[in-house]
Structure 1
Amino acid sequence: MAGSSLHMLFTKLSLVLSLLWSANFGLWHEPSSSSSRLGIYPPTCKRIECPSYDVIEVGDGYEIRSYNSSAWMSTSPIQDISIVEATRTGFLQLFNYIQGKNKYGEKIEMTGPVITEVSPSDGPFCESSFTVSFYVPKENQANPPPAEGLHVQRWKQTYAAVRQFSGFVTDSNVGEEAAALEASLAGTTWATAIQKSHDADATSVYTVAQYNSPFEFDHRVNEIWMLFDNLT
């Protein structure tokens, strides 16, 4: 029991350090691959709980997944010009939450990935809006402890177009990877489904999923998600 507790504490601290590392040393990263990587199961999900999904299609530069209904604990929108800084800010709120800073004083197991929904700004020097979320473990899904400044998002069955990329997430590579995913989907029924699921003003919204600790320099797995509600 003691060994298991120490392992979970190490995992939690690793994820905290990962985001701090990215914020402070963003230039020191493994370059993202020039083409999408598909079908790599994130190593973190062999150690901690991650949401399950079914793969519907593997295309040229993308993967289509189906996620079952689930609950996510989310921050309020964070205004910033940097996804690295915004994710760090949001994750520290969520880390305090799982350490017991919630209405029930309950400690909650760490899960993966940490996701950041990005609503891009209209210009390169304008603030974007970021919402950082934590997948609620199965044992807490029915009744996640409430907490000030956080809210529960309840997903219905949700579909995602996914692009994987390596290295550390930085302010420079996320936009490139999101654009590459959008380009790979162009002309497909999935692009139409994504467009139908978003308001006209929010078609550029995407989500960044981060899995790894900073101590894993090889075989890093990050993902861009474009979420949609229906297959048609």
Structure 2
Amino acid sequence: MVRSLTMDFLVGLLMLVFLGSAESGVGPSNSSSSFCTESKECLQFDLVCKTDEYEVRHYSPTRWVSTDAEAYFMGVGAAMAFRRLFQYITGANEGGVKIEMTAPVLVKIPEETKMWEPAVYTLSFLLPSAYQDNPPAPTNDKLYFTDMPDIDVYVRSYGGWMLSVTSRLHAHLLTKELQRAQASYNHTYHYGVGYDSPLKLLNRHNEVWYVAEGDPECLVPVETPAEPPTP
């Protein structure tokens, strides 16, 4: 009886540890679901399905440190916000804690922007697994924490640099495919997602994300029936 209770307790404890780590969504960069080459930890995902034009991924809940920047161009706003976030992880927080950089970096980009008006861009750094539950408070009041929920996203990947023009182009190409698939997604914003530091010149990896609404859609190519053999 005592042995049975002890085994049940140990199994339950192991399950709690497993669930706690799985829900964090942050893991080592050498895992199979990783495009990170310059950081120890990376945002993890489960691949739901894949077409020639996009992927559908599932992400578990994660916590990020974020800041907003108003600018006419995404690149300018992202640069302003990046400086604030980099100061946070290098010690501009309560306790002066040095926090390791993770990947990717998210830029939340509003869909409806006007050329003669600035837009508000939100840049977010993924908090390492050690700080997912209790991150040090920022000393800059323009920074805040964002809890990303359990989500499915439509993803289009591309190389090179994540600029305003390239981000908009690939967002447009992705929406065309999602419309063709009759997929439901959030039309008010998308994410520009970068995995590499500015110093990396080759083999860069960037993404565009749209958050799925309802069950995600993946188009499967329809095979042409084979013609019957000629008698």
Shorter-chain TM-score tier: 0.7 to 0.9
For 1:56, which of 48, 55, 60 is the aligned residue? 48
The structure whose Rg is larger is 2
Q: 2:116: which partner in 1?
A: 125
TM-score, normalised to structure 1, is 0.73
Q: 1:93: which partner in 2?
A: 84
- How many Å apart are 1:40 and its aligned residue? 9.4
- How many Å apart are 1:229 and its aligned residue? 5.7
The 5 Å alignment of 1:27-106 reads 41-44=34-37, 47-75=39-67, 77-106=68-97
TM-score, normalised to structure 2, is 0.73
RMSD between superposed Cα atoms in Å = 2.0
| Moved >4 Å (runs of 4+) | none
Structure 2, unaligned runs of 5 or more:
1-31, 217-231
The answer on whether the counterparts of 1:164 and 1:222 sit within 8 Å (CA) in structure 2 is yes
Structure 1, unaligned runs of 5 or more:
1-38
Secondary structure class of the residue paired with 2:37: helix
Secondary structure class of the residue paired with 1:207: strand
How many residue pairs end up in the alignment? 183
Cα deviation code 1:25-81 (max 9, x no counterpart): xxxxxxxxxxxxxx9952426x42111100001023110000111101111x32111
Secondary structure class of the residue paired with 1:154: strand
Asked if 1:216 corresponds to 2:207, the answer is: no
Judged with a 3 Å threshold, the aligned counterparts in structure 2 of structure 1 residues 207 and 222 are, in CA distance, closer, same or farther, namely same
Q: How far apart, in 1, do the equivalents of 2:83 and 2:107 lie?
A: 13
The aligned amino acid for 1:149 is: K
The answer on whether the counterparts of 2:33 and 2:44 sit within 8 Å (CA) in structure 1 is no
The aligned amino acid for 1:156 is: P
The 5 Å alignment of 1:1-232 reads 41-44=34-37, 47-75=39-67, 77-147=68-138, 148-188=141-181, 191-192=183-184, 194=185, 198=186, 203-228=187-212, 230-231=214-215
